[in-house]
Structures are given as structure tokens and as C-alpha cells.
Structure 1
Amino acid sequence: MSTSLTERLREARARRGALLSDAHTTAFRWVNGAPDGVPDVTVDTFAGLPVVSLYRDFSREEEQALLDAAWEAWAPRSLYLKRRPREARVLANVARDVVAPEAPARGEPVESLEALENGLRFRIRPAQGLSVGLYLDMRETRAWLHGEVKGLTVLNLFSYTCAFGVVATAGGAKRVLNIDSSRRVLDWGEENARLNGQPVDRYDYVAGDVFDWLGRLAKKGETFDVVISDPPSFSTTRSTRFSAARDYPQLAEAAARVVVPGGRLVACCNLAPLTPRRFEALVMEGTARAGRTARPVAALGPSAVDFPSSPEAPAGLKVQVLQLR
């Protein structure tokens, strides 16, 4: 007899094991698509509030059945829905209310809440759009960073709400410079810093094009011990169009130019079709163009506890840590 959808959702959450009882981490993934028996669906939870994402066009009947099953399986106070078809980037601009409804799919509206990751606090806005404030597949990489940056300078590229910056500061970094094209998310990043009692210097939250700023920093001879490069797979600013599969060598080259000798480049990519081997080759190509010798020192990725994978559904996130000479 086939397991009901409600039961599959309940079992997926139960498989998160120790994360369910970890008082220091309240933000993690409850459902990760096919490996959890629910293809084309992910569910992220933030302090017990589930955010459901759909990765194909579900019929209204399918969507309602899924939401009903989730409501029954978990009995949360609220449930938010994000629709992420392939063309979500375009739809997000022209039909945001369809792709990421502001109203909850079930339950009471929640404008914002605080979630914990390894004891650090982050502001989550479940109605804010497709991205609600924290990318959970980076939890392991952020935990690694925390133990590696004491007394060091850190450059956080494509910083979004500055989670890497918050973690680096908590880990004792001497200075963290956050760069993102959006002033709005940088303001959010400043809010995250303040939530954790960290000082905020506006000069370390820079709004602008990452390539432009990397050029400026290199021209001034400014360098960093650790440079984190976590770009979107595709992005467009007023001056650049970026595609990870095509342009990562260019990004790695520009980033390598501002890493101190002996420092590290943390190169990240979430483009699923790009294999880990191909991604490493793109990063190495870029660092070589910058005249740097790169030695891989770590390969990181999402936690297998809440981001299970399979041969048919491999992990999307790839993180290469390189030491540059």
C-alpha cells in the first residue's frame, strides 16, 4: 500500500533527527524533493514556520492537496508558498504576487520572525519574495567559516543579508566587508548584525556591482585573507550580466586578485547542472588567469541530514576552498 502524502511529509520531517531537538538551530530543511519522496517540492522551516517551494507548475488541485497534507502533517501556526518554475526569475518581476504571495497559504500572517543557526540570530521575512532571508544549504559552510577566520580580514561577495558576515564576525574576524547590488538586503544584513550584538560600520556594507568593486579594490591594492564568492546562478545589474556556467572563471580571476598570498578563496555555486569537477575546473581556470597558484583545501556542501541527495537528484550546492599563492 502506498504511503499517503501526509505520512511522507511527516516521515521526512522525522528524518531530520538531531536537528529537531537542537535548541541552537531552528532553521533547516524539512523536505528536499525526490530523496524525501516528494519530487519537485522543498520545505524550509524557520522557527517552526514552513516555507513550501514548488519546482514545477502544479495544478491547483495538486497544490491544494500538498498544502492540506502539510497542514495536517505538521500543524504549524502558518504556512507560506513559493512557486519556482524555470522562468521564476522573470515571473518574480512581473507577477510577484503569483510566484511569492505575500499572504500565507494557510494560517496567520507573519511579517517577520527570528530563526537561529548555530546560536546566531537571523531575521526571516516569509512574505518577502522568493528568498526569505537565509539560504539553508550554506549552514555547513558557515559553520566551517566560523572556525577559520579569527583575526583575519574577510570579503563577502554577493552578500545578500550578510549571513556569512555575521558568522565571520562571530568567529572573531578582524574586519568583514560585505558587497551586494541591493541596498535593501544590505540594510537587512545590518539588522542581522545588530540582532547578534555586533557593531555596524556602514562602510562595510557596500551597495554596487561586485565586478566593479573587485576592480576598484585591486586597483587600490586592497587585499583580504578570506574572500567568499557566492553568486546567484544568473544575475543582471546595470553594468553586467552574469551566468555561473559561462562567467565563473572571470569572477574567480577578479576575486583571486584581492586574496593575500596564502589566503583563501571560498568559491560557491548552486547551479545544479554544473558538476563538482567542472565547477572546480572553472574556478582553477580563473585563478590561473590571475597569475595565482591554487591548492584545493576543502570541498564543502549542504548537510546530508536535511539535504539528502541521490544519483538522480545530486546536491546542487558546490563549495571549493582554495589556498592561493
Structure 2
Amino acid sequence: MQVEIKDQAAKKIRRGIPLIQKEDLKKYHETFPKEWVKFVDKQGKYVATGYLGKQNKGIGWVVDRNDSALNDEFFEQLFQTAIDQRSFYFSDESTTAFRLINGEGDGLGGITVDYYDGYLVVSWYNETIYHFRKKLTDSLQKLLHPKGIVEKIRFTSDLPESNWVSGSKPEEPLLVKENGVNYATYLDEGYMTGIFLDQKEVRGRLIEGVALGKRVLNMFSYTGAFSVAAAFGGALETTSVDLAQRSRAKTEEQFAVNGISLDQQRIVVMDTFEYFRYAARKELTYDLIVLDPPSFARNKKKTFSVLKDYGRLIEGSLDILSAEGTIIASTNASNFTIEKFQAAIEEVFIKENVTYHLTESYRLPPDFPAVEQLAESNYLKVLIYEIQKE
């Protein structure tokens, strides 16, 4: 099937941008064919092959620009290239969980595949790519012979959000390693597994010495992965704060699977901003504060948006930061550019009259390749600041 695209869209694709937007199509239809399509310009000249499918960003992806047949051999080669590029991780006994296929960064937008010590977690982001699931998972089976595969449905559907599709389920929690630290994971409990794999380098820095001898506060702590890494890296104490009640048991479990006593680890179930106020009243201070909020969250009548509210997090952190302290500021909001993110943080530093120095910054790690021409593809932004207060 051929789909005509506008001139600007053809130029965009030829520059290397794989995302198809609604306005790129000459004629837009509400329903999309569940098949590979050839995108052509107004002269009918071939531009690329890909597919159309409703998703959170855009309405489709370019998969090939060489008019190849999108057959089993094509996808086996695409996946094999991605596997070969992760050879470092496969050979690293200290890390047994990583991203194996990172959507458009590995040439196939709409799907991600994560590797958990021999098991695969496949996430489908639109109905069209899900239509090809057997072809794609068969290729993964042939190349990797995984112990099992679980899939996550991340598009609007009546399907369960998590479903075991092949192989045997592991005994849970499944313990995986990252930088030599154990993490308890659950592969078939909704979308979340217990660890966000894109933060491995930042957790690695906590282990390597950034947290050494420090009192660490981990906000939006989820299962406490940053806290465990900090404790492993010699933190004097950690405090993990998250609004979700389940975070307490999950965080305790992460410490337990590493044999770390809870004596110097505090776990608090509380709203972030309430905790800032509580800590200020109690005159608690921290040497290192980790801020890694969701892009958007709703709590009763309150809402939190990274784009609008990140400055408030910095303000709250400065109130309880030591005279000389460190802030690790992170966001995974793809619509928050690194320039705007940095500006939002430093605007507060200037307003509060503190001396600050940006010492390190991180984007996505090597197992999360991004498309250079597509800014939102490289969504993770982590800035580490050293602060001196008056």
C-alpha cells in the first residue's frame, strides 16, 4: 500500500527523522491499515517504508529507506545489529538487566525490548506494530532463545496491560544485577518492573562515590533504587520518600536483597511537598538530594507537572539542603528540552542567591540509543549541581 506524504515530510524523512505526524500525510484517515506502507511524494516517488498507528507521539514510523522487503530476514538483521551493539552488557557479569531494543533508536519505532537476566519484556506502543507481534517475537526467539517473554500493552486497548506470552515465569522477585547491586524485579505486574533501566549511569555514580559519607534524600523514590545505590556507595544514611503506600515494602525489599540493614535507612510514605515542609519544621538537612519526578502526577486535588513545577522542587530542596550540598535533578519529560530544564533550575538558584556549579550531566545510556535529529527521542536529562548556601 502507498501513502502520499507532503513535500516537507519527505524532506524531513530524508534528513533522518523517522516519526510520522498527522500533518505529514496528504490525506488523513481516522483508521490505519495494519500493514507496512510505502510513503511516496507527490510525484509518486518512493521515500520510505514504515507503518501508521495511533500512539502518544505521532501517528507512525519509518522503518526502512531502501525499499527493502520487511520480511523475517529484515527484522532478524535489525535485531541482530541491536544485540551486537549490546555485547558489552551481555559480557558484563555485574549488570544483567538492560534495554535491548530502544524503538526508533534501533530502527523500529513503537516497540521496546528489555533484557532481564535471560527474560524479555516487550512493550508495544500502538496497535499496528502489535499486529506484527508474532513475526517480531519469533525473530527474538530465534536469535536469543530467551527463558520467557512478557509483553506490555501501552496503547488504548481491552487487552491486559501485562501478559506472559512464552516460556516459563521466573520465581519472583527476579533478582537482576546492575553495577554489582541486586535489584528485585517483577516482570508481570503491570507496566512497572521495579527499576528504571535508563538511570543505570546515575546510580553508578552514587555507587562510585558521589554519595560517600553523605546523608541522602531520595524524592519520588518508587522502589528506592537510588537509595540502595547510595547506601552501597557509602552513604551515612538514606531517606526515601514516595506517596505510594507500596513503596515502603518495595524499598525494604531492595535493601534486603543486598543484605543492607535498615538501621540507617528511613522510608517515608508522604507527598513530596509535604515532606519538604515537614523536614524544614524538624530542621532536618541532607547533603545530597535526588529529584526524579514523573512528568505528570495527580494527588487528590493537586497536580504536578514537570514543565510548570520543577522549580518548586528546587526551592523545597534548598530549604533542607546542607550549607554545602549536592542536588541531582532529573526528568524524563520528552517535551522539556535540556536548555529549558537547566534554565528552570538555575533561575531558582539565582533567585535564592546560592552559589551553584554544574559538575556532571547525563543523557540516555548507550543501551538507549536515540535519533539525533529527533530531540524528544533523547528524553532523559540529569544534571548534578554542587551548591553553596550563604
Question: Could you tell me whether the CA contact under 8 Å between 1:112 and 1:125 is conserved in 2?
Answer: yes
Equivalent residue pairs, number: 314
> CA–CA distance in 2 between the matches of 1:23 and 1:139?
15
Q: 2:202 aligns with which of 133, 138, 141?
A: 141
Equivalent in the alignment of 1:208:
270
Per-residue CA deviation, residues 228-279 of structure 1 (Å, 9 max, x unaligned), is 0000111112353111111111111112211112201100000112111111
- Does 1:262 pair with 2:324? yes
Equivalent in the alignment of 1:316:
379
Question: Could you tell me whether the CA contact under 8 Å between 1:249 and 1:287 is conserved in 2?
Answer: no
Question: Could you tell me whether the CA contact under 8 Å between 2:216 and 2:230 is conserved in 1?
Answer: yes
- Does 1:307 pair with 2:368? yes
Runs of 4+ in 1 over 4 A off after TM superposition: none
Deviates more, 1:246-255 or 1:151-160: 246-255
Deviation, 1:113, is: 0.8
Give 1:264-283 correspondences, 5 Å limit. Answer: 264-283=326-345
Bigger CA radius of gyration: 2
Root mean square deviation of aligned Cα: 2.0
Q: 1:180 aligns with which of 207, 218, 242?
A: 242
Deviates more, 1:52-61 or 1:8-17: 52-61
Question: Could you tell me whether the CA contact under 8 Å between 1:181 and 1:209 is conserved in 2?
Answer: yes
Q: 2:166 aligns with which of 83, 94, 106?
A: 106
Equivalent in the alignment of 1:232:
294
Q: Are the structure 2 counterparts of residues 239 and 252 from structure 1 closer, same or farther at C-alpha, using a change threshold of 3 Å?
A: farther
Q: 2:309 aligns with which of 221, 236, 247?
A: 247
Aligned AA for 1:36? D
- Does 1:33 pair with 2:96? no
> CA–CA distance in 1 between the matches of 2:219 and 2:176?
23
Deviation, 1:66, is: 2.4
Q: TM-score, normalised by structure 2?
A: 0.76
- Does 1:158 pair with 2:228? no
Instruction: Report SS of the residue matched to 1:309.
Output: coil
Q: TM-score, normalised by structure 1?
A: 0.90
> CA–CA distance in 1 between the matches of 2:160 and 2:384?
34
> CA–CA distance in 2 between the matches of 1:59 and 1:148?
41
Aligned AA for 1:128? E
Question: Could you tell me whether the CA contact under 8 Å between 2:236 and 2:264 is conserved in 1?
Answer: no
Equivalent in the alignment of 1:293:
355
Deviates more, 1:108-117 or 1:208-217: 108-117
Unpaired runs of at least 5, structure 2 = 1-67
> CA–CA distance in 2 between the matches of 1:227 and 1:60?
40
Query: Could you say which structure has the greater relative contact order, defined with CA pairs below 8 angstroms and 6 or more residues apart?
Result: 1
Aligned AA for 1:316? Y
Instruction: Report SS of the residue matched to 1:204.
Output: strand
Question: Could you tell me whether the CA contact under 8 Å between 2:238 and 2:264 is conserved in 1?
Answer: no
- Does 1:66 pair with 2:136? yes
Q: 1:170 aligns with which of 209, 222, 232?
A: 232
Question: Could you tell me whether the CA contact under 8 Å between 2:238 and 2:265 is conserved in 1?
Answer: no
Q: 1:125 aligns with which of 183, 186, 191?
A: 186
Question: Could you tell me whether the CA contact under 8 Å between 1:234 and 1:244 is conserved in 2?
Answer: yes
Aligned AA for 1:130? Y
> CA–CA distance in 1 between the matches of 2:349 and 2:275?
18
Identity between Structure 1 and Structure 2 (%): 30
Aligned AA for 1:14? D
